[in-house]
Amino acid sequence: MNKKELLELLNSIETKKVEVKNLANAGKLEEAKKAKEELKAMQEKMDLLKDIEPAEDIENHATPVPGANFAGAKDPVKDFADAARHGFRNYNNEGTGADGGYTVPQDIQTQVNTLREAQFSLASLVSTKNVSTSSGRRTYKTRAQHTGFEKVGEGGKIGKKEGPQFSMMKYNISKYGGYLPVTNELLSDSDQEITSMLTQWLADEDLATRNSLVLEAIAKAPEVDLKNLDGIKKAVNVTLGSKFSGLIKIVTNDDGLQYLDTLKDSSGRYLLSANANAADPIKNVLAIGTNNIPVVVVPNEVLASTAADTAKKIPFKIGSFADYAKIFDRQKMSIAVSYEASVTDFNAFEQDMTLFRAIDRLDCEVLDDKAIVNGYISVSGE
C-alpha cells in the first residue's frame, strides 16, 4: 500500500468514528454497532500495516486529507496548523476589507465537508449552486396549464397559442460568521489537535447555518394543519399531485416518527416500514396509495415541535425539496485571527488567548412555491 492509500485509510477511520458517534447519539444503536464493527476491521488493517510501513509515514499524517497527492507535496494539515499558530499571515490572503479573510484551503475544506455530511444536513434535501459573485439572477420557465391545439376547419385560420412564460429569481449572498476563543496552549499542541478542533468547529457552525437558511425558506410556505394521516395523503396525492411523483419526501422530526410509528391499517399492520429496496435499509417509507413515500427523520434539536395551548405541533414538511429551494454558495469560507481583540467582556490579549473568526457567504431562495406543503399535525396530551 502506497502513502496515498495509507492516508486515505486513515481518513476513512476518522470519518467512521464520527459516523459511529452520530448513530449512537441518534439512538440508532444497532446501526452504531454495525458501524463500530466496520471501524474495528479498518483499525485492525491499519495495525497490520504498521508492522510493514515506516512508522513516520503513519504518525506524521495522523489527520489525512482525502484525494490529496502527497508525492513530493507539502502536508496540508501541517501547513494549516502552522498557519493557525502564526495568525494565517501570508496564507492564501483573499484581500482586504469586506471581502477579505484567509480562505480555508481546499484540503481542509474537504475535511469540513466530510464532517458536515456525517451529521444531519437539511441542505442535502435542497439543491445547491456554487457561484463566484455576490449577487445574480436565474431565469426559470413557469408552470402553465396547457389547453391543446384548437380544431381548424379546411381553409380556416389557425389560432394563436400562448408561449412559455418565464420568471426571474435573484440571489444576494450574505455574510454569516462567528468567533471562537482558543487558548494559546492549544496552539502549541500537535498539528492534529489544532486542525481537528478548528475543522470540527467550522463544520458544526457551517452545518447549523445552512440548516437555518433551509428552515427559513420552508417557513415562507403557508403553514397547513394536516390534522391526521388523511391530511398527509391529501398533501401527497392532491396538493402536490402526480407532477412530483417519485420526488416527494416526508420530512419530520423524532416526535413525528413516534406519531407515524403508531399508525396501522384496517388489518392492524403498521403503515411505516423499512424500505427493503432502498440502498440504505435504515430509511423508512410510508405507504400512501400505490406509492411508498420516503420518510426523512430530523433530530428534534434541528427541526423542533412547537407548543400550541395544550397541544404539540409536530412538523410534517412534504414535497420535492430540491425543486422548492436552492442554496447559492460562494464557497469562500474564510478565517481571520487576532491575538489582541476585545469582544464584550472578553479580551484575547489579557487572557492569553487567540480569537478565530470564520465567515460563510451564502443565500437560499425559493424556486417553486408549489413544490412543498409546510404542514403540521397537532397532538394533544403530550
**Average pLDDT score over residue span 7-20:** 75
Separation between Cα atoms, residue 258 and residue 262, nearest integer Å: 7
Most confident of the ranges 163-172, 225-234, 270-279, 302-311: 225-234
Backbone angles phi, psi at 351, to 5 degrees: -100, 10
- With cell 476518522, the residue in question is 14
Percentage of residues in the chain having pLDDT higher than 90? 30
51 — pLDDT class (breaks 50, 70, 90): low
Rounded alpha-carbon distances, angstroms, from residue 347 to 86, 198, 351: 19, 20, 6
Most confident of the ranges 136-140, 365-369, 373-377: 373-377
At residue 127, the pLDDT reads 92
Among 215, 314, 319, smallest CA distance to 257 is for 314
Residue of 58 and 317 predicted with greater confidence: 317
pLDDT at 351 over 90: no
pLDDT at 306 over 80: yes
**Average pLDDT score over residue span 67-77:** 49
321 — pLDDT class (breaks 50, 70, 90): very high
197 — pLDDT class (breaks 50, 70, 90): confident
Task: Return mean pLDDT, the chain.
Answer: 80
At how many degrees (to 10) do helices 106-118 and 3-25 cross?
A: 30
Reported as a single tens digit per residue, the pLDDT across 236-269 is 999 999 989 999 999 999 999 999 998 887 788 8
At residue 320, the pLDDT reads 95
At residue 277, the pLDDT reads 54
Backbone angles phi, psi at 328, to 5 degrees: -105, 120
Among 298, 98, 333, smallest CA distance to 209 is for 333
Alpha helices in the chain (DSSP H): 3-25, 29-50, 55-59, 76-85, 106-118, 184-187, 191-219, 229-234, 254-260, 321-324
**Average pLDDT score over residue span 70-84:** 66
Q: Which amino acid is at 72?
A: G
At residue 210, the pLDDT reads 94
Stretch among 64-68, 82-86, 354-358, 369-373 having the lowest mean pLDDT: 64-68
Residue of 156 and 368 predicted with greater confidence: 368
> Which grid coordinates belong to 63?
489527520
Contact indicator for 191, 63 with CB cutoff of 8 Å? yes
Sign of torsion, CA 293 299 300 301?
negative
pLDDT at 97 over 50: no
